[in-house]
Structure 1
Amino acid sequence: MSDEIMTTAEAAEADAMPRCHEVHTREGRTSPAAAAPESVKAKPVGQKSPAEWAYERLILYIQNFEKTLDNEHEVAMGFVGGDAGVLKIEGMGYFDPDIVTFYGSDTSGNKTQLVQHVSQLSVILRALPKPRAQAEPERIGFRLAADLEKD
């Protein structure tokens, strides 16, 4: 804890700014917070529901992960602690105050949805090969980030 004294404006700005710290073995990796749109920074964290704040940070992680993928792979998520498999992320949302949901399909192409309480949130982002018939990979992270900018 810092002994630094902050003005009210500095305290409000510090509360609004997402804080993230990461160290990687490879050069060139960036923090998801570095790409946070102004809409994420504009509303102080203390004014966001746990679901909204988790949703926004997940978008940043997904988008950051997608930046590391080649054109033959798309983002998917594995389920932690179970045999439920993998879900290709095709959509994501939240329901205040504390629910985050993921929409997509499993490796067999079956429609899948995960509804998760933020206190149980644990996601593994995985790279899955895109379907061969699909010309370009789908990048849900960039679509989700663009939606944040609309708010």
Structure 2
Amino acid sequence: MDGEIETAAEIAENAVLNRRFEACPESGKTEERAVPEDIAQHATRSPAQWAYERLILYIQNFEETLDSEHEVAMGFAGGDAGILRIEGMGYFEPDLITFTGSDPTGARTQLVQHVSQLSVLMRAVPKLPDHVEPVRIGFRLAKGLDPKA
């Protein structure tokens, strides 16, 4: 922290911010998972960037459970909004997250969400018939986080 003095609350918060636990459906156990170093260094990130980077980890984790016939999509809670096949994700500092993609009819769709309202339901949906391989958006987005890429 470049010579800055941390309060007791900041020390306690920083000790737990980079902990990540996941429940494994196959084993029924909860396990601690590693947080990539570039994401663990969060001190200068806006709430939007911090949420964006962690969402990428969750999308990757979800995609790891999918077979070769399914891709990740987002379901919407409440109303008849349906689902959005996630094709892109972004953020607008300091506090907005965006999801872009298409709905089941193929219509272009975008969700803009404030980080304080963030709630993401991931769904497995059949891959598009014209794709040989399923699209793995989480791994593509993670490449964008690597400053060396």
Q: Matches of 1:91 and 1:29 in 2, distance apart?
A: 31
Give the alignment of 1:73-112 within 5 angstroms: 73-112=70-109
| Letter matched to residue 59 of structure 1 | I
Q: Matches of 2:19 and 2:49 in 1, distance apart?
A: 16
Q: 1:60-103: per-residue Cα shift (whole Å, max 9, x none)?
A: 00000000000100000001222111000000000111000001
Alpha-carbon offset, residue 125 of structure 1: 0.2
Q: Matches of 1:113 and 1:74 in 2, distance apart?
A: 18
The share of aligned pairs that are identical, in percent, is: 60
Where do 5+ consecutive residues of structure 1 fail to align? Answer: 1-7
| Letter matched to residue 83 of structure 1 | D
> What's the secondary structure of 1:53's corresponding residue?
helix
More helix per residue: 1 or 2? 1
Mapped contact 1:77–1:126 kept (Cα < 8 A): yes
Per the normalisation by structure 2, the TM-score is 0.81
Where do 5+ consecutive residues of structure 2 fail to align? Answer: 1-7
Mapped contact 1:37–1:145 kept (Cα < 8 A): no
Q: Matches of 2:28 and 2:111 in 1, distance apart?
A: 32
Which has the higher mean CA deviation after the structures are superposed, 132-141 or 14-23?
Answer: 14-23
Which residue number in structure 1 is paired with residue 117 of structure 2? 120
Q: Matches of 1:29 and 1:91 in 2, distance apart?
A: 31
Aligned residues: 140
Per the normalisation by structure 1, the TM-score is 0.80
Mapped contact 1:100–1:115 kept (Cα < 8 A): yes
> What's the secondary structure of 1:83's corresponding residue?
coil
Say if 1:16 and 1:137 are closer, same or farther in 2 by CA, change over 3 A.
same
Say if 1:116 and 1:37 are closer, same or farther in 2 by CA, change over 3 A.
same
Q: Matches of 2:116 and 2:59 in 1, distance apart?
A: 19
Matched, 1:40 2:52: no
RMSD: 2.7
**Structure number with higher relative contact order (C-alpha < 8 Å, ≥ 6 residues apart):** 1
